[in-house]
């Protein structure tokens, strides 16, 4: 059974940093792209970032480029998102999602975690 479990969310002050993690199990981790997708309560989905199976290709939404860094550790079956210079509009539920294919920009996400909530507020 595929499982994706996010952690690291919480209340953080504007301008500060937080690192999200996603622990994966139930599939061959290094054969798939992985993604972070966020959702503001009551609003739509926003793709944040994606990383290819080997970490060689990475993409970011314009809204987070230069502030967020995605990474993966294939030895530990884990995905991370380092979030710096946080702003109020980064407040959202952050989902980890498994891609159906290898690359960082294939839009098919066949498994999702339950999300971790990040609230940016003073």
Partner 1 sequence: SSELTQDPAVSVALGQTVSITCQGDNLRRYFAAWYQQKPGQAPVLVIYGQNKRPSGIPDRFSGSSSGHTASLTISGAQAEDEADYYCNSRDSSGSLVVFGGGTTLTVL
Q: Are 87 and 120 in contact (CB under 8 A)?
A: yes
Separation of alpha carbons 23 and 7, rounded Å: 8
Q: What is the DSSP string of 44-56?
A: -EEEEEEE-TTSS
How near is the Cβ of 117 to partner 1 at its closest, in Å? 13
List residues near partner 1 by CB under 8 A: 35, 37, 44-47, 50, 59-61, 95, 100, 104-110, 112-115
Kindly tell me which of 15 and 100 has the beta carbon lying closer to partner 1: 100
Query: What residues contact 100, with CB distance under 8 A and at least 6 apart?
Result: 32, 106, 108, 109, 110
- As measured in angstroms, the least distance from the Cβ of 16 to partner 1 is 26
Nearer to partner 1, 1 or 122 (CB): 1
CA distance 111 to 114: 10
Q: Which is nearer to partner 1, 73 or 108 (CB)?
A: 108
Task: Quote the least distance from Cβ 77 to partner 1, whole Å.
Answer: 19
Q: Which is nearer to partner 1, 14 or 26 (CB)?
A: 26
């Amino acid at each position: 059974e595929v499982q994706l479990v996010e952690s690291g969310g919480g209340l953080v002050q504007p301008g500060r940093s937080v690192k999200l993690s996603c622990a994966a199990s139930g599939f061959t981790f290094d054969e798939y792209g992985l993604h972070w997708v966020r959702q503001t309560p009551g609003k739509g989905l926003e793709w944040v970032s994606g990383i290819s199976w080997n970490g060689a290709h990475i993409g970011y939404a314009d809204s987070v480029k230069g502030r967020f860094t995605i990474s993966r550790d294939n030895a530990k079956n884990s995905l991370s998102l380092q979030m710096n210079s946080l702003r109020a509009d980064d407040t959202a539920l952050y989902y980890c999602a498994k891609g159906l294919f290898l690359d960082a920009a294939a839009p098919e996400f066949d498994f999702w975690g339950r999300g971790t909530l990040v609230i940016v507020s003073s």
